[in-house]
Chains A and B, each alone.
Chain A
Amino acid sequence: MIKNILNLGDAALYCDFGSDVNQEINSNVIKYFYHIKKLNLKGITNLTPSYNKLIISYDLNIHSFLSLKKKIENIEIKENNKLEKNLIEIPVCCDNNFALDIKRVENKLKLKSEIILEKFFSKNYFCYMTGFVAGMPFLGDLNQEMRLKRLETPRVKVPKGSVGITEQFCNIYTFETPGGWNILGNTPQNIFDTSNQSNPNLVNPGDTIKFYRITLDQYNEIKR
Protein backbone atom coordinates (compact mmCIF):
# COMPACT_ATOMS: atom_id res chain seq x y z
CA MET A 1 0.00 0.00 0.00
CA ILE A 2 3.03 2.27 0.44
CA LYS A 3 3.97 3.32 -3.09
CA ASN A 4 7.41 4.62 -2.36
CA ILE A 5 9.71 5.37 0.58
CA LEU A 6 12.10 8.33 0.33
CA ASN A 7 14.23 10.08 2.89
CA LEU A 8 13.24 13.44 4.37
CA GLY A 9 16.57 14.76 5.56
CA ASP A 10 18.83 12.23 7.30
CA ALA A 11 16.52 11.19 10.14
CA ALA A 12 13.09 10.50 8.65
CA LEU A 13 11.40 8.14 6.19
CA TYR A 14 8.89 9.74 3.83
CA CYS A 15 6.28 7.10 3.00
CA ASP A 16 4.17 8.03 -0.01
CA PHE A 17 0.70 6.46 -0.34
CA GLY A 18 -0.32 8.40 -3.47
CA SER A 19 -1.03 11.95 -4.56
CA ASP A 20 -4.84 12.10 -4.22
CA VAL A 21 -6.67 13.09 -1.09
CA ASN A 22 -9.45 10.66 -0.34
CA GLN A 23 -10.65 8.55 2.55
CA GLU A 24 -9.43 5.28 1.05
CA ILE A 25 -5.79 6.40 0.75
CA ASN A 26 -5.98 8.18 4.09
CA SER A 27 -7.39 5.06 5.80
CA ASN A 28 -4.33 3.15 4.57
CA VAL A 29 -2.05 5.80 6.04
CA ILE A 30 -3.90 5.60 9.35
CA LYS A 31 -3.76 1.77 9.40
CA TYR A 32 0.01 1.86 8.92
CA PHE A 33 0.30 4.57 11.53
CA TYR A 34 -1.55 2.56 14.20
CA HIS A 35 0.21 -0.66 13.23
CA ILE A 36 3.72 0.81 13.47
CA LYS A 37 2.80 2.67 16.66
CA LYS A 38 1.76 -0.63 18.24
CA LEU A 39 5.03 -2.32 17.23
CA ASN A 40 6.74 0.20 19.51
CA LEU A 41 10.02 -0.06 17.57
CA LYS A 42 13.06 1.17 19.43
CA GLY A 43 14.52 4.36 17.99
CA ILE A 44 11.33 5.60 16.29
CA THR A 45 10.92 9.13 17.60
CA ASN A 46 7.79 10.26 15.76
CA LEU A 47 5.10 9.12 13.35
CA THR A 48 3.24 11.80 11.40
CA PRO A 49 0.28 10.61 9.33
CA SER A 50 -1.30 13.10 6.92
CA TYR A 51 -3.74 12.88 3.98
CA ASN A 52 -1.57 10.59 1.88
CA LYS A 53 1.88 10.47 3.52
CA LEU A 54 3.36 8.97 6.65
CA ILE A 55 6.59 10.42 7.99
CA ILE A 56 8.62 8.24 10.34
CA SER A 57 11.27 10.13 12.32
CA TYR A 58 14.03 8.10 13.91
CA ASP A 59 17.06 8.34 16.15
CA LEU A 60 20.16 8.41 13.97
CA ASN A 61 22.13 6.71 16.74
CA ILE A 62 19.92 3.63 16.35
CA HIS A 63 18.79 3.44 12.71
CA SER A 64 20.09 4.32 9.30
CA PHE A 65 17.79 5.11 6.39
CA LEU A 66 18.31 1.87 4.48
CA SER A 67 17.94 -0.51 7.43
CA LEU A 68 14.74 1.12 8.69
CA LYS A 69 13.32 1.39 5.17
CA LYS A 70 13.72 -2.37 4.80
CA LYS A 71 11.95 -2.96 8.11
CA ILE A 72 9.00 -0.79 7.12
CA GLU A 73 8.77 -2.34 3.63
CA ASN A 74 8.49 -5.77 5.21
CA ILE A 75 5.49 -4.84 7.31
CA GLU A 76 2.38 -6.63 6.16
CA ILE A 77 -1.00 -5.20 6.94
CA LYS A 78 -4.05 -7.33 6.45
CA GLU A 79 -6.61 -5.76 4.14
CA ASN A 80 -9.45 -6.63 6.51
CA ASN A 81 -7.71 -4.83 9.35
CA LYS A 82 -10.63 -2.60 10.39
CA LEU A 83 -10.03 0.89 11.66
CA GLU A 84 -11.45 1.80 15.02
CA LYS A 85 -13.83 4.69 14.48
CA ASN A 86 -15.59 6.89 16.98
CA LEU A 87 -18.50 9.23 16.31
CA ILE A 88 -17.95 12.49 18.16
CA GLU A 89 -20.53 15.24 18.45
CA ILE A 90 -19.27 18.78 18.75
CA PRO A 91 -21.44 21.85 19.50
CA VAL A 92 -20.86 24.99 17.42
CA CYS A 93 -22.31 28.45 17.92
CA CYS A 94 -22.64 30.59 14.77
CA ASP A 95 -23.51 33.85 16.49
CA ASN A 96 -22.26 36.93 14.59
CA ASN A 97 -19.43 37.39 17.09
CA PHE A 98 -18.06 33.95 16.16
CA ALA A 99 -18.87 33.61 12.44
CA LEU A 100 -16.01 35.92 11.45
CA ASP A 101 -16.11 35.15 7.73
CA ILE A 102 -19.77 34.36 7.07
CA LYS A 103 -20.17 37.49 4.87
CA ARG A 104 -17.13 36.53 2.79
CA VAL A 105 -18.39 32.97 2.40
CA GLU A 106 -21.87 34.26 1.36
CA ASN A 107 -20.24 36.41 -1.35
CA LYS A 108 -17.87 33.75 -2.62
CA LEU A 109 -20.35 30.87 -2.65
CA LYS A 110 -23.33 33.05 -3.66
CA LEU A 111 -25.47 31.39 -1.01
CA LYS A 112 -27.41 32.85 1.93
CA SER A 113 -25.84 32.36 5.34
CA GLU A 114 -28.70 30.16 6.59
CA ILE A 115 -28.30 27.84 3.60
CA ILE A 116 -24.53 27.69 4.11
CA LEU A 117 -24.92 26.72 7.75
CA GLU A 118 -27.70 24.24 6.99
CA LYS A 119 -25.43 22.51 4.47
CA PHE A 120 -22.49 22.61 6.86
CA PHE A 121 -24.40 20.96 9.72
CA SER A 122 -26.18 18.39 7.52
CA LYS A 123 -23.07 16.24 7.03
CA ASN A 124 -20.70 14.14 9.08
CA TYR A 125 -16.99 14.70 8.58
CA PHE A 126 -14.06 12.28 8.56
CA CYS A 127 -10.86 13.11 10.46
CA TYR A 128 -7.90 12.77 8.06
CA MET A 129 -5.23 13.90 10.50
CA THR A 130 -4.47 16.02 13.52
CA GLY A 131 -1.65 18.46 13.96
CA PHE A 132 -0.06 21.72 12.91
CA VAL A 133 -0.83 22.84 16.46
CA ALA A 134 -1.71 20.41 19.25
CA GLY A 135 -4.96 18.54 18.62
CA MET A 136 -6.13 20.45 15.53
CA PRO A 137 -8.27 18.06 13.43
CA PHE A 138 -8.34 18.24 9.61
CA LEU A 139 -11.83 17.09 8.57
CA GLY A 140 -13.57 16.41 5.28
CA ASP A 141 -15.20 16.39 2.88
CA LEU A 142 -17.37 19.43 2.36
CA ASN A 143 -19.98 19.29 -0.42
CA GLN A 144 -18.80 20.69 -3.77
CA GLU A 145 -20.91 23.86 -3.50
CA MET A 146 -19.33 24.66 -0.08
CA ARG A 147 -15.75 24.81 -1.29
CA LEU A 148 -13.73 28.03 -1.41
CA LYS A 149 -10.15 29.16 -0.99
CA ARG A 150 -8.58 30.40 2.20
CA LEU A 151 -8.37 34.11 3.07
CA GLU A 152 -6.03 36.12 0.85
CA THR A 153 -4.34 37.49 3.97
CA PRO A 154 -4.31 35.08 6.89
CA ARG A 155 -5.44 36.36 10.31
CA VAL A 156 -2.63 36.98 12.77
CA LYS A 157 -4.81 35.53 15.52
CA VAL A 158 -7.69 33.12 15.00
CA PRO A 159 -9.61 32.75 18.28
CA LYS A 160 -9.41 29.39 20.08
CA GLY A 161 -12.39 27.16 19.28
CA SER A 162 -12.99 28.68 15.83
CA VAL A 163 -14.46 26.30 13.24
CA GLY A 164 -13.25 27.04 9.73
CA ILE A 165 -13.58 25.78 6.17
CA THR A 166 -11.36 25.81 3.10
CA GLU A 167 -11.44 23.75 -0.08
CA GLN A 168 -12.84 20.30 0.78
CA PHE A 169 -11.87 20.56 4.46
CA CYS A 170 -12.97 21.96 7.79
CA ASN A 171 -11.06 22.24 11.05
CA ILE A 172 -11.19 23.44 14.64
CA TYR A 173 -8.58 25.86 16.00
CA THR A 174 -7.54 24.21 19.26
CA PHE A 175 -5.35 27.18 20.22
CA GLU A 176 -5.22 30.84 19.29
CA THR A 177 -2.89 30.78 16.31
CA PRO A 178 -2.37 32.52 12.95
CA GLY A 179 -4.54 31.03 10.22
CA GLY A 180 -6.38 31.64 6.97
CA TRP A 181 -9.46 29.40 7.02
CA ASN A 182 -12.96 30.86 6.64
CA ILE A 183 -14.46 30.94 10.13
CA LEU A 184 -18.14 29.93 10.42
CA GLY A 185 -18.51 29.57 14.20
CA ASN A 186 -16.94 28.62 17.48
CA THR A 187 -17.13 25.61 19.76
CA PRO A 188 -17.13 25.97 23.55
CA GLN A 189 -15.80 22.41 23.82
CA ASN A 190 -12.17 21.82 24.70
CA ILE A 191 -10.69 19.82 21.79
CA PHE A 192 -7.21 19.43 23.28
CA ASP A 193 -6.77 18.74 26.99
CA THR A 194 -3.21 19.16 28.26
CA SER A 195 -4.13 17.65 31.63
CA ASN A 196 -5.23 14.37 30.01
CA GLN A 197 -1.83 13.01 29.06
CA SER A 198 -2.97 9.55 28.00
CA ASN A 199 -5.47 10.87 25.46
CA PRO A 200 -5.34 14.66 25.09
CA ASN A 201 -7.09 14.73 21.68
CA LEU A 202 -10.88 14.71 21.56
CA VAL A 203 -10.66 13.85 17.85
CA ASN A 204 -8.22 11.33 16.36
CA PRO A 205 -7.46 10.29 12.77
CA GLY A 206 -10.19 7.96 11.47
CA ASP A 207 -12.92 9.39 13.73
CA THR A 208 -16.18 10.84 12.43
CA ILE A 209 -17.38 14.26 13.56
CA LYS A 210 -20.93 15.49 13.76
CA PHE A 211 -21.24 19.22 14.37
CA TYR A 212 -24.51 20.47 15.90
CA ARG A 213 -25.66 24.03 16.22
CA ILE A 214 -26.20 25.74 19.55
CA THR A 215 -27.42 29.18 20.64
CA LEU A 216 -25.28 31.81 22.33
CA ASP A 217 -26.99 31.03 25.66
CA GLN A 218 -26.15 27.34 25.30
CA TYR A 219 -22.59 28.30 24.34
CA ASN A 220 -22.17 30.40 27.47
CA GLU A 221 -23.75 27.64 29.57
CA ILE A 222 -21.20 25.04 28.33
CA LYS A 223 -18.35 27.53 28.62
CA ARG A 224 -19.27 28.04 32.27
Chain B
Amino acid sequence: MKSKDRNYFKILRAGINTTYQDLGRNNLYHIGIPFSGAMDKRNFQLLNSLLQNDYNSPVIEFAYQGPHLKYFGKDIFFCISGNVSFKIISKEGVIDGNSYQCYLLKNGDEVDIHSTNKSVYGYFSINGTFGVDYYWGSCSINTQAQIGPNNGNKFSKDLEIELIDINNSFNKRKLDYLGSTIENIRVIKGTNYDYFSKSSQNKFFKESFKITKLSDRMGMRLEGPKIENIVDPNIKSEGLVKGVIQITSAGDPIIMLSDHGTIGGYPKIATVISADYDRLVQLTPGSNIKFKDVSLEDAETLYKLYQMETNNLISQIK
Protein backbone atom coordinates (compact mmCIF):
# COMPACT_ATOMS: atom_id res chain seq x y z
CA MET B 1 0.00 0.00 0.00
CA LYS B 2 1.40 3.40 -0.96
CA SER B 3 1.71 5.50 2.17
CA LYS B 4 -0.27 8.42 0.70
CA ASP B 5 -3.26 6.10 0.21
CA ARG B 6 -3.14 4.90 3.77
CA ASN B 7 -5.58 6.03 6.42
CA TYR B 8 -4.33 5.08 9.85
CA PHE B 9 -3.93 5.94 13.49
CA LYS B 10 -0.61 5.90 15.25
CA ILE B 11 -0.81 5.03 18.93
CA LEU B 12 1.04 7.70 20.93
CA ARG B 13 -0.09 6.17 24.25
CA ALA B 14 -1.75 2.78 24.41
CA GLY B 15 -3.88 3.14 27.54
CA ILE B 16 -4.28 0.46 30.19
CA ASN B 17 -6.04 -2.37 28.42
CA THR B 18 -6.84 -1.38 24.85
CA THR B 19 -7.99 -4.08 22.44
CA TYR B 20 -10.16 -4.72 19.38
CA GLN B 21 -13.54 -6.19 20.26
CA ASP B 22 -16.69 -7.21 18.40
CA LEU B 23 -19.55 -9.49 19.47
CA GLY B 24 -17.05 -12.27 20.23
CA ARG B 25 -16.77 -15.91 19.23
CA ASN B 26 -19.38 -18.60 19.81
CA ASN B 27 -19.32 -22.35 20.18
CA LEU B 28 -15.73 -22.76 21.34
CA TYR B 29 -16.22 -23.30 25.09
CA HIS B 30 -15.64 -27.03 24.57
CA ILE B 31 -12.04 -26.37 23.55
CA GLY B 32 -11.49 -23.79 26.26
CA ILE B 33 -12.08 -20.55 24.34
CA PRO B 34 -14.52 -18.09 25.94
CA PHE B 35 -16.89 -15.67 24.18
CA SER B 36 -14.72 -12.58 24.67
CA GLY B 37 -16.25 -9.65 22.75
CA ALA B 38 -17.09 -6.16 23.97
CA MET B 39 -17.69 -6.24 27.73
CA ASP B 40 -20.54 -3.71 27.56
CA LYS B 41 -22.68 -4.83 24.62
CA ARG B 42 -25.07 -1.89 24.81
CA ASN B 43 -22.32 0.66 24.37
CA PHE B 44 -20.84 -1.48 21.60
CA GLN B 45 -24.19 -1.58 19.81
CA LEU B 46 -24.82 2.16 20.28
CA LEU B 47 -21.39 3.03 18.85
CA ASN B 48 -21.82 1.00 15.67
CA SER B 49 -25.33 2.43 15.24
CA LEU B 50 -24.09 6.01 15.69
CA LEU B 51 -21.44 5.42 13.03
CA GLN B 52 -23.85 3.51 10.74
CA ASN B 53 -21.49 0.56 10.72
CA ASP B 54 -22.40 -3.09 10.42
CA TYR B 55 -23.78 -4.33 13.79
CA ASN B 56 -20.74 -6.56 14.36
CA SER B 57 -18.04 -4.13 13.20
CA PRO B 58 -14.84 -4.09 15.25
CA VAL B 59 -14.38 -1.29 17.79
CA ILE B 60 -11.52 -0.32 20.08
CA GLU B 61 -12.28 -1.07 23.71
CA PHE B 62 -10.34 0.60 26.51
CA ALA B 63 -10.47 0.37 30.30
CA TYR B 64 -9.98 3.26 32.75
CA GLN B 65 -7.45 5.15 30.63
CA GLY B 66 -7.84 5.08 26.86
CA PRO B 67 -5.34 5.52 24.04
CA HIS B 68 -3.90 8.74 22.61
CA LEU B 69 -4.21 8.45 18.82
CA LYS B 70 -2.75 10.53 16.00
CA TYR B 71 -4.54 10.34 12.67
CA PHE B 72 -3.06 10.28 9.16
CA GLY B 73 -5.22 10.20 6.04
CA LYS B 74 -8.31 11.63 4.39
CA ASP B 75 -11.17 13.16 6.41
CA ILE B 76 -13.06 10.70 8.63
CA PHE B 77 -15.48 10.80 11.54
CA PHE B 78 -15.03 9.13 14.90
CA CYS B 79 -17.26 8.57 17.90
CA ILE B 80 -16.82 7.36 21.49
CA SER B 81 -19.36 5.57 23.66
CA GLY B 82 -19.41 5.08 27.41
CA ASN B 83 -18.85 7.67 30.11
CA VAL B 84 -15.54 9.02 28.78
CA SER B 85 -13.41 12.19 29.00
CA PHE B 86 -11.41 12.95 25.87
CA LYS B 87 -9.82 15.81 23.96
CA ILE B 88 -9.57 16.47 20.24
CA ILE B 89 -6.35 18.20 19.28
CA SER B 90 -6.25 19.90 15.87
CA LYS B 91 -4.60 22.91 14.20
CA GLU B 92 -7.56 25.00 15.35
CA GLY B 93 -6.89 24.17 18.99
CA VAL B 94 -7.94 21.71 21.68
CA ILE B 95 -11.58 20.91 22.47
CA ASP B 96 -13.24 18.61 25.00
CA GLY B 97 -15.32 15.96 23.30
CA ASN B 98 -18.65 14.43 24.30
CA SER B 99 -19.52 10.78 24.16
CA TYR B 100 -22.24 9.62 21.73
CA GLN B 101 -21.37 12.46 19.35
CA CYS B 102 -19.48 12.18 16.03
CA TYR B 103 -16.47 14.39 15.28
CA LEU B 104 -14.52 15.12 12.09
CA LEU B 105 -10.84 14.15 12.03
CA LYS B 106 -8.35 15.59 9.53
CA ASN B 107 -4.85 14.52 8.68
CA GLY B 108 -2.59 15.20 11.69
CA ASP B 109 -5.42 15.56 14.25
CA GLU B 110 -5.20 13.73 17.57
CA VAL B 111 -7.69 12.15 19.97
CA ASP B 112 -6.52 11.86 23.57
CA ILE B 113 -8.78 9.63 25.64
CA HIS B 114 -7.92 10.51 29.25
CA SER B 115 -10.23 8.33 31.22
CA THR B 116 -13.57 6.68 31.77
CA ASN B 117 -15.60 8.45 34.48
CA LYS B 118 -17.02 6.38 37.35
CA SER B 119 -17.03 3.43 34.95
CA VAL B 120 -14.56 0.95 33.50
CA TYR B 121 -15.02 0.50 29.74
CA GLY B 122 -15.29 2.89 26.82
CA TYR B 123 -15.40 2.35 23.06
CA PHE B 124 -13.91 4.15 20.06
CA SER B 125 -14.63 3.68 16.37
CA ILE B 126 -14.86 5.44 13.01
CA ASN B 127 -17.26 5.61 10.05
CA GLY B 128 -15.68 2.55 8.54
CA THR B 129 -13.77 -0.38 9.88
CA PHE B 130 -10.32 -1.40 11.05
CA GLY B 131 -8.04 -3.63 9.01
CA VAL B 132 -8.08 -6.66 11.31
CA ASP B 133 -7.70 -10.42 10.97
CA TYR B 134 -10.48 -12.72 12.12
CA TYR B 135 -9.98 -15.74 14.37
CA TRP B 136 -12.92 -18.14 14.57
CA GLY B 137 -15.16 -15.50 13.05
CA SER B 138 -14.22 -12.72 15.48
CA CYS B 139 -11.55 -10.04 15.77
CA SER B 140 -11.87 -9.84 19.57
CA ILE B 141 -8.51 -9.90 21.28
CA ASN B 142 -8.27 -12.43 24.12
CA THR B 143 -4.96 -11.56 25.78
CA GLN B 144 -5.08 -14.54 28.14
CA ALA B 145 -5.10 -17.12 25.31
CA GLN B 146 -3.33 -14.76 22.90
CA ILE B 147 -6.07 -15.07 20.32
CA GLY B 148 -6.94 -12.30 17.88
CA PRO B 149 -5.25 -9.54 15.86
CA ASN B 150 -1.98 -7.98 17.11
CA ASN B 151 -0.93 -11.56 18.05
CA GLY B 152 -3.61 -11.58 20.71
CA ASN B 153 -1.91 -8.79 22.67
CA LYS B 154 -3.30 -5.51 23.92
CA PHE B 155 -2.27 -2.36 22.06
CA SER B 156 1.16 -0.90 22.65
CA LYS B 157 2.81 2.44 21.86
CA ASP B 158 3.71 3.09 18.21
CA LEU B 159 1.28 0.50 16.88
CA GLU B 160 -0.34 1.61 13.63
CA ILE B 161 -4.03 0.92 13.05
CA GLU B 162 -5.20 0.71 9.44
CA LEU B 163 -8.65 1.99 8.51
CA ILE B 164 -10.55 0.40 5.63
CA ASP B 165 -13.98 0.68 3.97
CA ILE B 166 -14.47 4.30 5.01
CA ASN B 167 -18.08 5.32 4.44
CA ASN B 168 -17.79 8.56 2.41
CA SER B 169 -21.50 9.36 2.49
CA PHE B 170 -21.55 9.50 6.30
CA ASN B 171 -23.00 12.53 8.08
CA LYS B 172 -22.48 13.45 11.74
CA ARG B 173 -25.01 11.91 14.12
CA LYS B 174 -25.51 12.04 17.86
CA LEU B 175 -27.49 10.64 20.75
CA ASP B 176 -28.47 12.38 23.98
CA TYR B 177 -27.72 9.70 26.50
CA LEU B 178 -26.16 9.87 29.93
CA GLY B 179 -25.69 6.16 30.41
CA SER B 180 -27.38 4.04 33.02
CA THR B 181 -26.00 2.61 36.23
CA ILE B 182 -27.21 0.20 38.90
CA GLU B 183 -26.25 -0.69 42.46
CA ASN B 184 -28.41 -3.77 42.90
CA ILE B 185 -27.28 -6.65 40.74
CA ARG B 186 -30.09 -9.06 40.03
CA VAL B 187 -29.21 -12.75 40.09
CA ILE B 188 -30.79 -16.18 39.77
CA LYS B 189 -29.87 -18.71 42.46
CA GLY B 190 -27.17 -21.12 41.33
CA THR B 191 -26.95 -24.89 40.95
CA ASN B 192 -24.98 -25.18 44.22
CA TYR B 193 -27.03 -22.71 46.26
CA ASP B 194 -27.69 -25.34 48.95
CA TYR B 195 -23.92 -25.82 49.51
CA PHE B 196 -24.03 -22.73 51.71
CA SER B 197 -25.30 -22.27 55.25
CA LYS B 198 -28.70 -20.61 55.77
CA SER B 199 -27.07 -17.62 57.45
CA SER B 200 -24.62 -17.22 54.55
CA GLN B 201 -27.45 -17.41 52.03
CA ASN B 202 -29.13 -14.57 53.94
CA LYS B 203 -25.92 -12.55 54.10
CA PHE B 204 -25.42 -13.00 50.36
CA PHE B 205 -28.65 -11.15 49.65
CA LYS B 206 -28.75 -8.75 52.62
CA GLU B 207 -25.22 -7.41 52.97
CA SER B 208 -23.15 -5.54 50.43
CA PHE B 209 -19.97 -6.66 48.68
CA LYS B 210 -17.09 -4.51 47.55
CA ILE B 211 -15.53 -4.92 44.11
CA THR B 212 -11.78 -5.40 44.57
CA LYS B 213 -8.90 -4.34 42.34
CA LEU B 214 -8.48 -7.98 41.30
CA SER B 215 -10.98 -7.46 38.51
CA ASP B 216 -10.38 -7.63 34.77
CA ARG B 217 -11.96 -9.00 31.58
CA MET B 218 -11.76 -12.54 33.04
CA GLY B 219 -13.46 -11.98 36.34
CA MET B 220 -14.45 -9.73 39.20
CA ARG B 221 -13.40 -10.60 42.74
CA LEU B 222 -15.58 -9.36 45.57
CA GLU B 223 -14.96 -8.80 49.24
CA GLY B 224 -17.57 -8.87 51.99
CA PRO B 225 -19.02 -11.26 54.52
CA LYS B 226 -17.45 -14.72 54.17
CA ILE B 227 -19.84 -17.21 52.60
CA GLU B 228 -19.72 -20.42 54.57
CA ASN B 229 -19.72 -23.68 52.63
CA ILE B 230 -21.31 -26.57 54.57
CA VAL B 231 -21.01 -29.29 51.91
CA ASP B 232 -17.71 -29.22 49.99
CA PRO B 233 -15.52 -26.28 48.93
CA ASN B 234 -14.98 -27.97 45.57
CA ILE B 235 -17.25 -29.57 43.00
CA LYS B 236 -16.25 -31.83 40.12
CA SER B 237 -15.02 -29.34 37.52
CA GLU B 238 -17.74 -28.33 35.10
CA GLY B 239 -18.61 -25.63 32.59
CA LEU B 240 -18.95 -21.98 33.54
CA VAL B 241 -20.95 -19.21 31.92
CA LYS B 242 -20.65 -15.44 31.78
CA GLY B 243 -21.98 -13.86 34.96
CA VAL B 244 -21.84 -16.99 37.11
CA ILE B 245 -20.78 -16.32 40.72
CA GLN B 246 -18.51 -18.91 42.28
CA ILE B 247 -17.51 -18.98 45.95
CA THR B 248 -13.80 -19.69 46.43
CA SER B 249 -12.44 -21.93 49.19
CA ALA B 250 -11.75 -18.74 51.17
CA GLY B 251 -15.49 -17.89 51.05
CA ASP B 252 -15.26 -14.95 48.65
CA PRO B 253 -17.45 -14.48 45.57
CA ILE B 254 -15.87 -14.25 42.13
CA ILE B 255 -17.97 -13.33 39.10
CA MET B 256 -16.95 -14.78 35.74
CA LEU B 257 -16.72 -12.18 32.97
CA SER B 258 -16.34 -12.33 29.18
CA ASP B 259 -12.77 -13.81 29.00
CA HIS B 260 -13.33 -16.32 31.81
CA GLY B 261 -11.83 -19.80 32.08
CA THR B 262 -14.40 -22.19 30.57
CA ILE B 263 -14.28 -24.80 33.36
CA GLY B 264 -14.21 -24.36 37.11
CA GLY B 265 -14.44 -26.33 40.32
CA TYR B 266 -15.87 -23.89 42.84
CA PRO B 267 -19.56 -24.11 43.80
CA LYS B 268 -21.91 -21.68 42.07
CA ILE B 269 -24.09 -19.65 44.38
CA ALA B 270 -25.87 -17.55 41.73
CA THR B 271 -25.70 -16.11 38.20
CA VAL B 272 -26.08 -12.46 37.21
CA ILE B 273 -29.05 -12.01 34.88
CA SER B 274 -28.34 -11.06 31.26
CA ALA B 275 -30.18 -7.74 31.62
CA ASP B 276 -27.70 -6.53 34.27
CA TYR B 277 -24.42 -7.75 32.76
CA ASP B 278 -23.49 -4.57 30.80
CA ARG B 279 -23.97 -2.43 33.87
CA LEU B 280 -22.19 -4.89 36.19
CA VAL B 281 -18.96 -4.79 34.18
CA GLN B 282 -18.94 -0.98 34.33
CA LEU B 283 -18.74 -0.93 38.14
CA THR B 284 -15.31 0.23 39.32
CA PRO B 285 -13.17 -1.38 42.05
CA GLY B 286 -14.19 0.06 45.41
CA SER B 287 -17.90 0.13 44.47
CA ASN B 288 -20.33 -1.64 46.76
CA ILE B 289 -23.00 -3.89 45.30
CA LYS B 290 -25.95 -5.82 46.62
CA PHE B 291 -27.45 -8.92 45.07
CA LYS B 292 -31.16 -9.25 44.52
CA ASP B 293 -32.86 -12.57 43.86
CA VAL B 294 -35.16 -12.81 40.82
CA SER B 295 -36.94 -15.73 39.16
CA LEU B 296 -35.96 -17.17 35.79
CA GLU B 297 -39.22 -15.92 34.23
CA ASP B 298 -38.57 -12.39 35.51
CA ALA B 299 -35.00 -12.50 34.23
CA GLU B 300 -36.24 -13.46 30.75
CA THR B 301 -38.71 -10.56 30.76
CA LEU B 302 -36.14 -8.11 32.14
CA TYR B 303 -33.79 -9.03 29.31
CA LYS B 304 -36.49 -8.31 26.71
CA LEU B 305 -37.15 -4.93 28.35
CA TYR B 306 -33.44 -4.15 28.40
CA GLN B 307 -33.15 -4.93 24.69
CA MET B 308 -36.21 -2.79 23.95
CA GLU B 309 -34.61 0.06 25.83
CA THR B 310 -31.42 -0.32 23.75
CA ASN B 311 -33.43 -0.37 20.51
CA ASN B 312 -35.31 2.69 21.69
CA LEU B 313 -32.00 4.53 22.24
CA ILE B 314 -30.87 3.52 18.75
CA SER B 315 -34.06 4.96 17.28
CA GLN B 316 -33.30 8.29 19.00
CA ILE B 317 -29.98 8.75 17.18
CA LYS B 318 -30.17 11.71 14.83
Contacts and interface: CB of A to CB of B under 8 A. Distances in A.
Same complex origin of A and B: yes
Contacts of B146: 175, 194
B263 A129 contact: yes
Contact of B273 (A9, A57, A134, A204): A9
Contacts of B136: 197
Nearest to B31: A201
A67 to B, nearest CB: 11
**Interface centre among A10, A33, A134, A138, by most B CB within 10 Å?**
A10
Contact of B35 (A45, A60, A134): A45
A11 interface: yes
Interface in A2-42: 6-12, 14, 19, 21, 33, 37
Interface string B228-251: 000000001111110110000000
Interface residues on A, range: 35 or more
Given A9-B188, A50-B239, A133 B244 contact: no
Interface string A194-219: 10010011001100000000000000
B31 A9 contact: no
A54 to B, nearest CB: 8
B33 interface: yes
A46 B26 contact: yes
B252 to A, nearest CB: 15
B177 interface: no
Given A10-B300, A50-B263, A131 B27 contact: no
Contacts of A192: 31-32
A113 interface: no
Contacts of A174: 32
A11 B304 CA distance: 13
A131 B144 CA distance: 13
A47 B32 CA distance: 11
A14 B191 contact: yes
Contacts of A177: 144
B115 interface: no
Nearest to B241: A12
Contact of A131 (B35, B243, B263, B272): B263
A130 B237 CA distance: 11
B145 A134 contact: yes
A51 interface: yes
B145 A133 contact: yes
Contact of B147 (A47, A53, A60, A194): A194
B35 A132 contact: no
Given A10-B273, A50-B263, A61-B307, A135 B30 contact: no
Nearest to A51: B236
Nearest to A56: B239
B271 A60 contact: no
Going nearest first, the 4 A-B pairs with the smallest beta carbon separation are A48-B239, A9-B271, A55-B239, A10-B299
Given A47-B30, A61-B307, A131-B261, 5 more contacts: A10-B273, A47-B27, A48-B238, A65-B300, A138-B263
